[in-house]
Amino acid sequence: MGQSASTQSAKPLFSSSSSRRAKPPHSTSSSSGASANRQPAAMAEGDAASPIAGASPARDNTSDLPDECLAIVFQFLGAGDRKRCSLVCRRWLAVEGQSRHRLALDARAALLEAAPTIFARFDAVSKLALKCDRRADSIGDEAIALIAVRCPNLTRLKLRACRAVTDAGMASVAKHCPGLRKLSVGSCRFGFSGIEAVVRGCALLEQLSIKRLRGLPDTFATGGAVVGAASLRSMCLKELYNGQCFAPLIAGSPNIKTLRLIRCTGDWDRLLEDIADKVPGIIEVHLEKLQVSDRGLAVLSSCNNLEILHLVKTPECTDAGLATVAERCHRLRKVHIDGWKTNRIGDEGLIVVARQCPNLQELVLIGVNPTARSLGLIASNCRNLERLALCSSDTFGDPEITCIASKCMSLKKLCIKGCPVSDQGMEALAEGCPKLVKVKVKKCRGVTPGCADWLMTRRVGMLAVNLDVIGPTEQQEASRESRILENNEQLIDQIGAVDLLPSSSNSRLPPWKTRMGFSTGENLVVSALRRWSRGGSNSNST
């Protein structure tokens, strides 16, 4: 019956379609008839295309795929698509859960009740992030212990604002997750004992990041020998009060390659002596807003394998300390210096870097005032220099950029922000730096959009120029916002800590503050006016 009905309806549908194409498009009767018969036509065509008339609907060919292949397909999907695929059928739900290795959960107290069900489905999780809102009650030791038992294969764990977790909870993690390789904790309230338990119990631990840990005592005294981790490769301490209690742990881990100390209280010169003496193989050092002086840099110079050095807002470090490091660490590849407008690091230290570090590939100078005297030596001696950034420098002008253009043969990326360069200096890039592929110019009043267009034309499309000029309206807005921010130093620290470029001491507003949402509406108007002005200048030139 169904088959004959389909067959009978197919003939008039095809004829109706033919007659519809023959009639004028304003024919109302034919168009209404066509719309009424459109759905049966599709069904008829499907029946005609099927190899056997009246056959049952096509079977699901994905059922022939092994679970392993289906899991591989799921790995190419995003989080949202994976969730939707898990709703297709029970098999897909099971395969998706068993093949998910990365999981991020809201770590509120209610997670304790849901944890057994969640980890019964996701039983292969190896990377887990537990984040709680700072205004809510977080999970405690019972929940973290339950999760540790359910995730014995855990290799990465991130805890954020889990304030109810104590040292006992971290001991449970160490006991049930011996394969843990990476631990990152932030805004938690357990103390040194919890971290030490993980270091002792997880013999494969490679990366340890500790930020804003609130459970550290005011004074620290080791009750016994502090055991480090031979497997530890990277250590990061950020915004810790009395973070010096971790210095013995660092010194007890002889294979550390990366050390980051950011905004930790206390004098670190003496502690760096012990660290550098026992961990001589350090390759990367990041010191930011830290009480460290040339004495500490002299100690770090004993790490002959040092390749990456970041000195960010360390006002006690001078040219002498930088020179000491450069004279002994000839393998330096990346040097980032934020002088914080103190003028304590300048040409003298950079000249030693130029003479002693021929392998330099990346140089970032913020709030430093170099001249052509040091930059010329860097350009001549550091033949592998590929990335150069100069920000908020009062001395980097047209002579300096001309020097860079004529001598940096390997330079690929150049960033200039808030420097007194002009169109005349930028024109030197048209012929120099043959390997240059990208130039960023921000907040340089002397550089105009016309120069950027001309530069790209001269380089025959092989150079990308990102120009962000500052107009009169933006200058007024920048001055107003700068005055607002000066009254809130805490906000500056919170925002400036996550950006490479520091807050400028003058009235010009760095673009990252604009991106954070200050005066969004006015910035949109300024952008529109800038586009109109560019359009007007182009039309006038033609």
Kindly report, residue by residue over 265-274, the tens digit of the pLDDT: 999 999 999 9
Higher pLDDT residue, 500 or 142? 142
Phi, psi of 537 (to 5 degrees): -65, -35
Quick one: pLDDT band at residue 128, thresholds 50, 70, 90? very high
**Cβ–Cβ under 8 Å, residues 236 and 243:** no
Quick one: pLDDT band at residue 513, thresholds 50, 70, 90? very low
Note the CATH number of domain 85-256.
3.80.10.10
pLDDT at residue number 469: 73
pLDDT digits (tens, 9 = 90+) for 172-190: 999 999 999 999 999 999 9
pLDDT at residue number 364: 98
Tokens of 371: 């001249």
Domain boundaries, the chain: 2-46, 85-256, 473-541
Arithmetic mean of pLDDT, 95-123: 90
Amino acid at 189: R
**Cβ–Cβ under 8 Å, residues 245 and 220:** yes
Higher pLDDT residue, 118 or 473? 118
The 3-class secondary structure across 341-406, one letter per residue, is CCCCCCHHHHHHHHHHCCCCCEEEEECCCCCHHHHHHHHHHCCCCCEEEEECCCCCCHHHHHHHHH
pLDDT digits (tens, 9 = 90+) for 385-435: 999 999 999 999 999 999 999 999 999 999 999 999 999 999 999 999 999
Calpha distance 150→328 (Å, rounded): 50
The proportion of the chain whose per-residue pLDDT surpasses 90, expressed as a percent, equals: 59
∠ CA 249-250-252, nearest 5°, is 65
Higher pLDDT residue, 224 or 326? 326
pLDDT over 60 at 12, yes or no:
no
DSSP at 108: B
Tokens of 174: 């160490």
pLDDT over 90 at 90, yes or no:
no
pLDDT at residue number 526: 43
Higher pLDDT residue, 79 or 40? 79
pLDDT at residue number 490: 43
**Cβ–Cβ under 8 Å, residues 218 and 243:** no
pLDDT over 70 at 539, yes or no:
no
Tokens of 331: 């393998």
pLDDT at residue number 55: 55
**Cβ–Cβ under 8 Å, residues 358 and 332:** no
Quick one: pLDDT band at residue 502, thresholds 50, 70, 90? very low
pLDDT over 80 at 201, yes or no:
yes
pLDDT digits (tens, 9 = 90+) for 225-277: 567 789 999 999 999 988 888 999 999 999 999 999 999 999 999 999 999 99
Mean pLDDT (the chain) is 80
Residue 483 three-state SS: helix
Quick one: pLDDT band at residue 512, thresholds 50, 70, 90? very low
Quick one: pLDDT band at residue 485, thresholds 50, 70, 90? very low
The proportion of the chain whose per-residue pLDDT surpasses 70, expressed as a percent, equals: 74
Quick one: pLDDT band at residue 32, thresholds 50, 70, 90? very low
Higher pLDDT residue, 530 or 455? 455
pLDDT at residue number 77: 84
Phi, psi of 311 (to 5 degrees): -120, 100
Residues near 127 by Cβ (< 8 Å), separated by ≥ 6?
101, 102, 103, 154, 155, 156
Amino acid at 471: G
Phi, psi of 163 (to 5 degrees): -75, -20
Arithmetic mean of pLDDT, 523-538: 46
Higher pLDDT residue, 495 or 303? 303
